[in-house]
Every structure is written in structure tokens, then in C-alpha cells.
């Protein structure tokens, strides 16, 4: 169901409490990838341009929850956001305190003027955030006249800022930002009414991680394409030799069941027919292409060229493609070719009119690394959240928002 968006709310003179996902990588006090901040900009700029008083809140990393920890402060994010906004921020992004609910933070919120922006420090400096504590949520809720969820990456979590705050703000506008609206629009459409043929690419290490998505999407998809280490569990379940490749032994019966279900439902489940292997799981290991079964002493670390060709053909024939999980150890040059080739196939499919969606996490990182992210229909900012949405799950954090 479509949700009301922040651009449909009159924010002039009102305090807008916006949950964002500024959980960005920081090294030596410097942000190394600001994509999540960039993705949040449209709604941030919209509120400021229309005279709203914008209070941003986020988490960063995994502090212990016992108060301020310098390694996890959001202060670099305030600085970077200020640089992005420039004059639009009306004097820069305020960062009043290293505690999101102390007197300094509360006083700064109370003194805000129209068009100003303020970022609270890491919500997870308080254990109450991840516990969904209603008292903590009420303190945050007191800051706002309007609640806006613009943090898709944490929509699947029952944290105080995601669920407790909108509950505490019942009766006030509770809306989503453009980022969350876009994620819901693409991901929900992909699982509810995809244009056919519908192809799903699933990779990564574990069948168990992707099992809910496989079971939910299998009846809807015409093609399920399996890569990454999880492919070797399926191949072993078929009785094929996989050498020293990673296998989830406790998922072999599940893999057999999925293979049988795919066959009964007329869904083509694709598995690798050749592999790029190595003797050791090391970046410098010499790659060796093996067709068919993998001999003892070798482990599969990427899909081979024949598999790339078959997988690419399935992608190019599809009208909707969802990709979640790399085809191999794409971070290492010797074992990146399969993932890179699939990324290129998705670009070509997009150019041919297909809807192409990357479901966050390592897939999004690969799309960025290979320079294709801006050439696809949608790249999700949420790893766990996108995978759960692709598994058909509903999020309380979204259900609490006003309908359009």
C-alpha cells in the first residue's frame, strides 16, 4: 500500500523529526563512502526549502550502548552533509551534543529557526534504542511535529526510532521520505506484480540466509539463478562433486526440496556448469577454470565463463530482474569476473527496457565497484531490509506510517 510522503506535508515552521540511515563507513574520522547520505538528500532538501526545522537522527556502527564512544560519533556525517547542502542548510548542519537526548540537544532543538538542520548523535549510544524502549522513544518524539522515516536500511528493525517514535507521535503526520518510498515502490512491485519473464539472481555464502527469499519468490519467478558459495550446497545435493568448496551440510535436504519444488512449478533453477577454482581461499591464489565436477583439493570461488554466458542469456531475456548476492569473491580480482559480467548483463537488460533491482548489501557494493549502480533501475540501500522485503515480510515501521 502506498504511503504518504514528506513532500505532501506542509512543514513551514514545523519541527520535522527524520530518521535517516547515516551508517556509513568511517576511517580515521573520514567518511569513505557517503552514498547513504547522498541518497537521503532529496527529502532533506525538500524540508529545508519549504521552511521546515529538520532534526535528523541515525545510528552508526555497533557501540556498546553505554554512552559516547568517539569511534562511533556522527559528527563526520554532520560535516559531510553540511558540505553537500551548502547554503541550503541555512548556516550549516548543527551538531549540538554527543548525546541525542541531553539538555544541550533539547535546547538546540528548541532554538531552531525555519530552514535549519540539526543532526543528533548516535542513537545507539543508548541501549534503549535497540531495545525499542518507549520512554527513550517518547523523549525523541517530543522533538517533532512531524515524523519522517527515510531510513530503509533499518526498516526491518523494531528499534525505538523506527517503531517507538512513530507510535508515540500518533495523531501527528507520520510519513516516509523519498528514499523509503522508492525502495517500497521498486521492491514491493518486484515481489507482488513483476513483469515477466521474472529472473531472480541469488548469490552469497549461505543457502540459509536466502532460504526465505527463495521460497517466497520461487512460485513467482521463471528463472532462479544461483551463484556464490551457496551454489555448491545445491550441487552437492544433486550428488555432484564440489571438492573443497564451502557447503552447508545441514541444508542439503532443504536444497533437494527446493530443486524438486522448482521442477514441479516450472521454474528454471540455474546452477553453475563451470567454476573458477583455487587450492586456497587467498586473494593471491592462482585461479583455475574447471568444467563440471570440482576435483578434491580445489574450491570454487567464482562462476566460470560458460556459466556466465548462460546466466547472462537468462538475464537478457527477462523483463524484471532482482539481484541479491555476488557470484563469487568479487573483492578479489582473480575471482571477480563472474559478478562483473552479471552486472554488465543487468545494464544491458536495463537498456532494453527491463526493470533491474539490486537488493542491497554485497550486491550494491559490487554494483558501485563496477560502476553500474547509476545504470540500473534501482539499487537498494538496505541489505537485510531488502532481503526481508524480497521474502514477502511486512515491516511494522512502515505499517505505522500514514497511507497516501
The pLDDT tens digits for 294-330 are: 999 999 999 999 999 999 999 999 999 999 999 999 9
Catalytic choice (36, 174, 220, 236): 36
130 and 259 fall within a common domain: no
**Which cell goes with 388?**
526481508
Among 349, 268, 344, 341, smallest CA distance to 303 is for: 341
Same domain for 166 and 262?
A: no
Instruction: Please indicate whether residue 36 is annotated as part of the active site.
Output: yes
| Cell numbers that stand for 385 in this block | 531490509
Q: Residue 94: give the domain boundaries.
A: 6-181
- Helices 230-237 and 207-217, interaxial angle, to 10°? 70
Q: What is the pLDDT of residue 208?
A: 87
Catalytic residue, chosen from 51, 61, 241, 384, is: 384
Are 97 and 234 within one domain?
A: no
- Detail the DSSP E strand segments found in 271-364: 274-278, 288-291, 299-303, 320-324, 355-358
Active site residue 384: yes
**pLDDT tens for residues 52-69?**
999 999 999 999 999 999
pLDDT computed for residue 29 by the predictor: 86
> Does the pLDDT at position 190 exceed 80?
no
In a domain, residue 51? The reply is yes
For residue 260, is it within any domain? yes
- The reply to whether 329 falls in a domain is yes
Same domain, 351 and 208: yes
Question: Same domain, yes or no, for 303 and 372?
Answer: yes
Q: Which three cell numbers stand for residue 207?
A: 543457502
Among 154, 181, 208, give the residue marking a domain's end: 181
Residue 54 in contact with residue 17, Cβ under 8 Å? no
Parallel, antiparallel, or unpaired: how do β-strands 299-303 and 288-291 relate? Answer: unpaired
| Candidates 90, 177, 304, 361; catalytic one | 361
Task: Assess if residue 397 is contained within a domain.
Answer: no
In a domain, 114, yes or no: yes
Number of domains in the chain: 2
Same domain, 47 and 175: yes
Max CA pair span of the chain: 69
Cα(54)–Cα(116) distance, integer angstroms = 6
Q: Verify whether residue 185 is a known catalytic residue.
A: no
Judgement on whether residues 231 and 173 belong to the same structural domain of the protein:
no
| Domain boundary residue, one of 160, 181, 202 | 181
Q: Is residue 403 part of a domain?
A: no
Identify whether residues 276 and 322 lie together within a single domain: yes
| Catalytic hit among 79, 167, 206, 348 | 206
Q: Higher model confidence: residue 90 or residue 143?
A: 143
- In the residue annotation, 196 being an active-site residue is answered as no
| 220 in the same domain as 151 | no
Same domain, 203 and 315: yes
> Do 246 and 385 have their domain in common?
yes
Helices (H), 164-229: 165-168, 178-192, 207-217
Residue 350, CB half-sphere, CA atoms under 13 Å: how many?
19
Last residue of a domain, one of 156, 181, 206: 181
| Arithmetic mean of pLDDT, 376-381 | 89
Residue 94's domain is classified under what CATH number? 3.40.50.1260
- Give a yes or no: residue 1 inside a domain: no
For residues 168 and 248, membership in a common domain is answered with: no
Round to the nearest angstrom and report the end-to-end CA distance of the chain. 8
Distances (CA, A) of 114 to 96, 105, 110, 118, 225: 17, 17, 12, 12, 51
Residue 186 lies in a domain: no
Find the mean pLDDT for residues 163-187.
Answer: 94
What would the pLDDT profile of 198-228 be if each residue is shown by its tens digit?
A: 999 999 888 888 888 898 899 999 999 999 9
Q: What is the mean pLDDT of the chain?
A: 94
Q: Tell me the Cα Rg of the chain.
A: 23
pLDDT tier, 91 (very low <50, low <70, confident <90, very high otherwise): low
Amino acid at each position: 500500500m502506498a504511503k504518504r510522503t514528506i513532500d505532501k506535508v506542509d512543514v513551514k515552521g514545523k519541527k520535522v523529526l527524520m530518521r535517516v540511515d547515516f551508517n556509513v563507513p568511517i576511517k580515521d574520522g573520514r567518511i569513505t563512502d557517503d552514498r547513504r547520505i547522498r541518497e537521503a538528500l532529496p527529502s532533506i532538501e525538500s524540508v529545508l526549502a519549504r521552511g521546515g526545522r529538520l532534526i535528523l537522527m541515525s545510528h552508526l556502527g555497533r557501540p556498546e550502548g553505554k554512552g559516547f564512544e568517539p569511534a562511533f560519533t556522527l559528527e563526520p556525517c554532520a560535516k559531510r552533509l553540511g558540505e553537500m547542502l551548502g547554503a541550503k542548510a541555512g548556516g550549516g548542519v548543527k551538531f549540538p551534543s554527543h548525546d541525542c537526548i541531553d539538555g544541550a540537544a533539547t535546547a538546540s532543538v528548541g532554538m531552531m529557526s525555519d530552514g535549519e538542520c540539526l543532526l543528533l548523535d548516535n542513537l545507539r549510544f543508548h541501549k534503549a534504542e535497540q531495545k525499542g524502549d518507549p520512554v527513550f522513544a517518547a523523549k525523541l518524539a517530543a522533538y517533532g511535529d512531524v515524523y519522517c522515516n527515510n531510513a530503509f536500511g533499518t526498516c526491518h528493525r523494531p528499534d525505538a526510532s523506527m517503531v517507538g517514535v512513530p507510535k508515540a507521535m500518533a495523531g501527528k503526520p507520520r510519513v516516509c521520505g523519498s528514499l523509503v518510498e522508492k525502495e517500497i515502490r521498486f521492491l514491493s512491485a518486484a515481489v507482488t506484480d513483476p513483469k515477466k519473464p521474472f529472473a531472480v539472481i541469488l548469490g552469497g555464502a549461505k543457502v540459509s540466509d536466502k532460504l526465505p527469499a527463495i521460497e517466497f519468490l520461487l512460485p513467482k519467478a521463471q528463472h532462479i539463478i544461483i551463484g556464490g558459495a551457496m551454489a555448491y550446497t545445491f550441487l552437492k545435493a544433486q550428488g555432484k562433486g564440489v571438492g573443497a568448496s564451502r557447503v552447508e551440510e545441514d541444508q542439503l535436504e532443504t536444497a533437494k526440496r527446493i530443486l524438486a519444488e522448482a521442477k514441479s512449478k516450472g521454474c528454471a533453477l540455474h546452477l553453475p556448469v563451470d567454476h573458477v577454482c583455487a587450492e586456497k581461499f587467498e586473494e593471491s591464489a592462482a585461479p583455475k577454470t574447471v568444467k563440471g565436477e570440482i576435483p578434491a583439493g580445489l574450491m570454487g570461488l567464482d562462476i566460470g565463463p560458460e556459466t556466465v554466458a548462460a546466466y547472462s542469456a537468462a538475464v537478457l531475456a527477462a523483463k524484471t530482474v532482482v539481484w541479491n548476492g555476488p557470484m563469487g569473491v568479487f573483492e578479489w580480482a582473480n575471482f571477480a569476473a563472474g559478478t562483473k559480467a552479471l552486472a554488465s548483463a543487468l545494464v544491458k537488460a536495463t537498456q532494453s527496457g527491463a526493470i533491474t533491482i539490486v537488493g542491497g548489501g554485497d550486491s550494491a557494493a559490487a554494483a558501485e565497484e563496477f560502476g553500474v549502480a547509476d545504470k540500473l533501475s534501482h539499487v537498494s540501500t538496505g541489505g537485510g531490509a531488502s532481503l526481508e522485503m524480497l521474502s514477502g515480510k511486512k515491516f511494522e515501521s512502515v505499517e505505522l506510517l500514514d497511507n497516501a
